[in-house]
Amino acid sequence: MASQPPAAPVTSFDRRELSSILRVYGRKVAEGEWRDYAIDFRRDEAVFSIFRRASEMPLFRIVKDMRLARRQGAYSVVAAGGMILKRGSDLERVLAVLETKRSLRLVGA
């Protein structure tokens, strides 16, 4: 009987990382901005894609790329057009780019 070669290791999000991502995602769903997500695990990267509607292209992708871990940081948030909004080694700081900034305005005096 021929033995099969071992499967190549896959990059994935651990429980802590997924919890941080889902915390931000849950807030945005509650605000009505996001509606769906998808998770892909590949050999060198894990991707959490965020959608406004399931039939559209993702609004944002949260990427964990282990090839970049020592240089630029393993985590990045990528916008729909492919522009990297934030990259780093601390997931919480990278996810902060997705938080809406509330500003105060002075309305007519």
Give 78-90 pLDDT, tens digit per residue.
999 899 999 999 9
CA 104 to chain centre: 28
CB 25 within 8 A of CB 50: yes
User: What is d(CA 65, CA 83) in angstroms, rounded to the nearest whole number?
Assistant: 16
Q: Is the dihedral of CA 8, 14, 19, 25 positive or negative?
A: negative
Distance CA 90, CA 77 (A): 12
The pLDDT score that the predictor gives to residue 106 is 66
This prediction has a pTM of 0.82
pLDDT at 1 exceeding the cut of 60: no
Token pair for 53: 């509607």
Find the mean pLDDT for residues 49-77: 89
Mean pLDDT of 44-59: 89
Residue 10 has what pLDDT? Answer: 81
DSSP 100: P
Residue 98 structure tokens: 């997705």
- Backbone torsions φ then ψ of 98, nearest 5 degrees: -85, -15
Q: Which residue type occupies 10?
A: V
